[in-house]
Amino acid sequence: MEGFTHEFPNDLLDSMQVAEKHPINLKKEMLSNIVLCGMGGSGIGGMLAREILFDQQTIPVEYWKGYILPNYVNHKSLVVCSSYSGNTEETLALYDQAKSKNAQIIVICSGGKLHQKAEQDGVLCLKIQGGKQPRAAVGLSLVQQIHILGSLFLNEDEKTQLHSEIKTIAKDLIEGKNNFHETGKTIAQQLINKSVTLYTETAYASIATRFMQQMNENVKKKAHVAIVPEMNHNELVAFVDFTKKDAVIVVNSNCFNAQNSKRIEFMIHQLENQDATVIVVNQDKQLSKVRNFLFTIYTLDLATIELAKALGVDSEEVYVIEGLKKKIAQ
């Protein structure tokens, strides 16, 4: 899993080649909304892409989990079905519903039943490299989601610039591999034997979700995430329950809304009074949004790998998920 994690920048480059060979011919004027479907590691790419390009979106874009599409999906909806294996049963169910509702459909997968359905139905399939666990393929699926949303919400010059920037970022990640790894290791060392919580604001909620998923799967450890300002209206009252056994990661606080900056400053003070460990993970606020996201994801992914190593945990094993799939297939 550590090796897969370090392949993240190369996956960005490889997936960009796929994107550039498969133009998106839909126009946003033809659409009333976009629904991004995918579970776990296959779905996080859509969540991240939605936030990276949030400021450019002029029609609703949402991500959807589970077996049942919203009732309002129709022929003017774009439904993006992402399943790395191509065999995720929830996503296959959503594909069939999107087809029955005459929605526009785009598929992202490495093969499987979803690829077969797309070929049979003449649906555009952005086929990415297989051979990994879904969470380790985030670079592959994320680029395709950015490609789809960028094609709909950016003009040609903006789209070209974004693609070029992702390639540059990937090269910078490769060159800075050791520095990113050391930062991840430093974060991990502060998380050993701690209950872990991550706070950020709404603009970066998908980063929080990604971290929680990586803690769950790579470290086999519970992790809690919450978003400012919503958690200030409820969870803040529970700050009296934090102790020196807690570690709290604050992400991108230097990029927060002005009011949220005041909120996080207050929160950090309260946490430190409770003797909790507070770790601030910030990128340079002058960085572009896509660079900020990719740098942060890489750093936190490596932190979970290093924590798994420190705890003697096999970060690749997911036996319980495999057992569940066998159970529900009966």
Q: Where are the domains of the chain?
A: 2-175, 177-311
pLDDT at 70: 96
pLDDT at 312 exceeding the cut of 90: yes
Average pLDDT over residues 156-171: 97
Average pLDDT score over the chain: 97
C-alpha distances (whole Å) from 171 to each of 21, 71, 260, 293 are: 21, 43, 33, 15
Count of Cβ atoms closer than 10 Å to residue 120 Cβ: 8
pLDDT at 51 exceeding the cut of 80: yes
What angle (nearest 5°) sits at the alpha carbon of residue 221, between those of residues 40 and 49? 30
DSSP SS3 for 33: strand
In angstroms, the CA 151 to CA 32 distance is: 16
Contacts of 94 (CB under 8 A, 6+ apart): 37, 64, 66, 67, 68, 69, 79, 81
DSSP SS3 for 130: coil
Domain 2-175, CATH 3.40.50.10490 — does that match? yes
pLDDT at 158: 97
pLDDT at 327: 84
pLDDT band at 329, cuts 50/70/90? Answer: confident
For residue 77, give the DSSP letter. E
pLDDT band at 293, cuts 50/70/90? Answer: very high
In angstroms, the CA 256 to CA 219 distance is: 29
pLDDT at 330 exceeding the cut of 80: no
pLDDT band at 326, cuts 50/70/90? Answer: confident
**What class does CATH assign to 177-311?**
alpha beta
C-alpha distances (whole Å) from 120 to each of 60, 110, 115, 207 are: 29, 16, 9, 35
pLDDT at 113 exceeding the cut of 90: yes
Sign of the alpha-carbon dihedral angle for 91, 95, 97, 103 = positive
Q: In what order do the strands lie in the sheet with 33-37?
A: 61-64, 33-37, 77-83, 104-109, 124-127
Cβ atoms of 148 and 80 within 8 Å: the answer is yes
In angstroms, the CA 274 to CA 271 distance is: 5
Residue 135 tokens, joined = 């969470």
pLDDT band at 278, cuts 50/70/90? Answer: very high
Nearest residue to 268 (alpha-carbon basis) of 306, 320, 232, 305: 232
pLDDT at 319: 86
Please report the beta strands in the chain, taking only residues with DSSP state E, as ranges in sequence order: 33-37, 61-64, 77-83, 104-109, 124-127, 195-201, 223-228, 246-251, 277-281
Count of Cβ atoms closer than 10 Å to residue 27 Cβ: 9
Q: In the chain, pLDDT over 90 holds for what percent of residues?
A: 95
pLDDT band at 13, cuts 50/70/90? Answer: very high
pLDDT tens figures, 186-223? 999 999 999 999 999 999 999 999 999 999 999 999 99
272-298: burial string, b at 16+ Cβ within 10 Å, e else: eeeebbbbebebeeeeeebbbbbbbbb
pLDDT band at 74, cuts 50/70/90? Answer: very high
